[in-house]
Amino acid sequence: MTIDFPLLEGTKNGDTAPSTAASAAGADLDKETVIAALDLLAHWWSRPVADEVSIWPSAADLEERLCSLMSDSAERLSWVLHEPLMLLDEHERLFVGPGPVPCPPYESFWREDVPVDIRRSLMGPCTADLRHIYHELGLELTPTSGELPDHVAVELEALVYGLSLEGTEPAARSLFFDHVRKWLPRLCRAVAHEAEQPFYRDLAAVTLDWLGPLQRYFESLIASAPTTR
């Protein structure tokens, strides 16, 4: 699966070439492996329209290789995707509605470190910070995406972008530690509990399984960052 950005678009001029792969000191993973893992997660958490789902099975071999690098766990996705409409129905039930939505895919809903009166609500304080980080990365939401800045797939796409360019790793680290790591585990646990389709139960498990190695990678970036006096 090639990296693309269906929900975000870059606005930086002349700075769109991916950086070369480089192993971070003390990390289990190199940059290309992390980018590939985050890119797959961004696709899998996106809306499963027919064109999107049709390319997912082509990533099965890549997923197998990544699983062997990311963890000793045997967690894998269920590739029973012969009924894409059923998968889309499950996505809408879990994440969109109509009716009660058991697993809103938005950071604002899951953050616990906010005043009680705005918990379980959308467009919380984190969205302003995310817009600032996206601006640092030269990103903006595509006009046709219809998504909020704190949607899980948007944040994951932004991480891919932040690691793919030279000089944007600090913004990517901030995005991971100040945002993704603070809420994605809660969403995954909710999806594991509420999902009826195996694909989404497995996606929640795989995402949780990969978060540990991803965190170690981003911690290694901090350890290897140059210090200033």
The pLDDT, as a whole number, for residue 94 is: 97
Q: 192-200 long-range CB contacts below 8 Å, 24 or more apart?
A: 194/94, 194/102, 194/103, 195/90, 195/94, 196/90, 196/93, 197/86, 197/87, 197/90, 198/78, 198/80, 199/77, 199/78, 199/79, 199/80, 199/81, 199/87, 199/90, 200/90, 200/91, 200/94
Question: For 27-62, how does the pLDDT look when each residue is reduced to its tens digit (9 = 90+)?
Answer: 478 999 999 999 999 999 999 988 888 888 888 888
Q: What's the pLDDT at 101? A: 94
For residue range 209-227, list pLDDT tens digits in order: 999 999 999 998 877 766 5
Residue of 193, 112, 128, 187 lying closest to 156 (CA atoms): 187
* Per-residue pLDDT tens digits for 14-32: 333 333 333 333 347 899 9
Give the pLDDT score at 112. 78
Indicate the CATH number of 31-224 among 3.60.150.10, 2.30.42.10, 1.10.3480.10, 3.30.70.20: 1.10.3480.10
Query: Tell me, what's the pLDDT at 3?
Result: 42
Q: What is the pLDDT of residues 141-182, one digit of tens each?
A: 776 667 789 999 999 999 999 999 888 999 999 999 999 999
pTM, rounded to two decimals: 0.83
Mean of pLDDT over the chain = 81
Q: Which residues of 70-90 are buried (b: 16+ CB within 10 A; e: fewer)?
A: bbeeebebeeebeebeebbeb
pLDDT at 117: 60
**Residue keyed to tokens 């606005």:** 11
Between 3 and 162, name the one with better pLDDT. 162
- Looking up tokens 């694909």, which residue turns up? 199
Name residue 121's beta-bridge partners: none
Greatest Cα-to-Cα distance within the chain, rounded to the nearest angstrom: 58
H or E, element range at 140 = strand 139-141
What are the tens digits of pLDDT across the range 96-154? Answer: 988 899 999 999 999 877 666 666 667 778 899 999 999 999 988 776 667 789 999 99
User: How high is the pLDDT of residue 14?
Assistant: 35
- Residues facing residue 141 across a β-bridge: 8
DSSP string, 174-212: HHIIIIIHHHHHHHHHHHHHH--SHHHHHHHHHHHHHHH
